[in-house]
Amino acid sequence: MPKFLKYILLVCGIVLFWISGDLIRGKGFDDALNDLIYSIGFMTTIAVLGYLFYIFVIKKDS
């Protein structure tokens, strides 16, 4: 199995797990998707800030 396909399946599994958790707690499908979109945006923002911190602070010293 190609490496990128494993990552795609992993992401799909996480998304399904996240949405099913919200549905089990009694939220509607729209609320579950909104929570997923907001959390992906938040995690992406944290990842970009961490990468910028790495570039401008950690890599600059070495």
pLDDT in tens, 15-43: 888 888 888 888 888 888 888 888 888 88
Q: Is the dihedral of CA 17, 10, 1, 5 positive or negative?
A: positive
| pTM for this prediction | 0.58
Q: Which domain holds residue 37?
A: 3-61
Distance CA(12)–CA(6), nearest Å, equals: 10
At residue 23, the pLDDT reads 86
Length of the chain in terms of residues written: 62
| φ/ψ of residue 8, rounded to 5 | -65, -45
Contacts of 27 (CB under 8 A, 6+ apart): 35
- Give the total number of structural domains in the chain: 1
